[in-house]
Amino acid sequence: MRGEKFMRVVVITLLCVVASYLIFSVTRFSGDSFTTYKAVRYEVGDGITTSGFLVRSEQLIQAGGEGIVVPIRDEGEKVGKGQAVAATYRDEAAKSRQLQIDQLEEELAQMKYAYSFSASDLESATLDNDILLLMNQITISAARREYSDADKRAEDLKPYILRRYLNSSDSETLWARISQTQERLNALYAEAGAESGSVIAPVSGYFSGVADGYESELTPAFLETATVSALEQYEGISRRETGALGKLVTSQKWYFAAIVPSRNVAELSPGDRIDVNFVYDFYSSVRMKVERISPSENERCILVLSSEAYIQSAVTARTQSADLIFADRSGLRVPKTAIYVNEEGSSGVYVLEGAEAKWKSIQILYDNGDSFVVALDKSSTKNLWPEDEIILTTGEIFNGKVMVK
């Protein structure tokens, strides 16, 4: 009997201990409600949208004389000193005659090219590859909005197609056509005489048929010392008549100058580089160098950027709207309510691992309003990773705490 009583006492004691432990656990570990938020990848751009001026080293091209003047260069096309940028004609008849000459010369060159090759089966396979390659290049140029290049490649494609379908019986007919075209050209040459001429480029540069009258005012030298009040006088400008045929941009380097709030460029310095997304003419972001930040006037300053890329897209327009991206920050998005600071002064969050809260230190990169963007560092599992379940709770929490919903 004594043994049974002793065992009963032991069992009751153990039950009391277990009950006490359970009560203690419940009151300590699960008295606070919580939810979880999965850490997700996040990207944010720090920048502003503004409008400004495209500034270049420019020289006007004067047409000179009387008659009809027709530019023969595409916008942004590179032209060497002494090369023709425009054709001049005495009258409409002379212009029409020259257009016929140009067309016949092009046809003659294509026919001669096609005639110089045979159309064997092996060559036909090679021609097919050449034709497909040119068609792909045309598609790429058109997608990039490089239309002058697309037109040139389309012209290059014509003799390939003609040559592809040329057989031995067609050769005699083609040669007769070549002879007739040459005779017609000789007659037109004789008629043309001195009815046409050329406008020659005085310097080498990139051609534009648009002259707005500000070529000698909005210059790189002006930007070196320009004040906010001096530049804002040009806001809302319209084109002024110059009488010029066009202009040559004489330097590869061009500038974008905009009046911006001083606070937005407080962290920038000359030499820094930022991405600029222009609204028109440019098909991708332009990486530009900070050349100058002017003294502030009424909390505004001039931001001067430069680039030596995409010059062909920058020769025509004077004003442009653009998004200036000062920094791209990528990492993990974390709610501000999940951030804690430990005894060592380090910021971090608690994540749910199994049923326990585990501390993970974080590096805050950017304040995104109701959340922070924090660094993503995969060098250790002790760091915060995507898909980690971040604990959100208003109750007490510490490293190793058992979390029971």
Instruction: Give the list of residues 6+ apart from residue 181 with CB closer than 8 angstroms, or none.
Output: 104, 107, 108, 111
**pLDDT tens digits, 367-379:** 877 888 899 988 8
Higher pLDDT, 17 or 103: 103
Taking alpha carbons only, the member of 164, 173, 166, 178 closest to residue 107 is: 178
Higher pLDDT, 355 or 1: 355
Tell me what pLDDT residue 8 has.
Answer: 58
**pLDDT tens digits, 93-143:** 777 777 888 888 888 887 777 777 654 444 566 667 777 887 888 787 777
Question: Which amino acid would we find at residue 189?
Answer: Y
Domain ranges of the chain: 49-59+210-327, 86-198
Q: Phi and psi of 401, rounded to 5°?
A: -65, 135
Residues 198 and 67: their CA atoms lie apart, in Å, by 12
**pLDDT tens digits, 159-187:** 676 666 665 566 777 788 888 888 888 88
Higher pLDDT, 144 or 388: 388
Higher pLDDT, 217 or 187: 217
Higher pLDDT, 42 or 235: 235
Mean pLDDT of 76-104: 84
| pLDDT over 90 at 348, yes or no | yes
Q: Phi and psi of 322, rounded to 5°?
A: -155, 155
Q: Phi and psi of 201, rounded to 5°?
A: -70, 125
Tell me what pLDDT residue 27 has.
Answer: 46
DSSP string, 273-326: EEEEEESSS-SS-EEEEEEEEPPPBTTEEEEEEEESS-GGGSSS-SEEEEEEEE
Identify the CATH assignment for 49-59+210-327 out of 3.40.50.620, 1.25.10.10, 2.40.30.170, 3.40.50.2300. Answer: 2.40.30.170
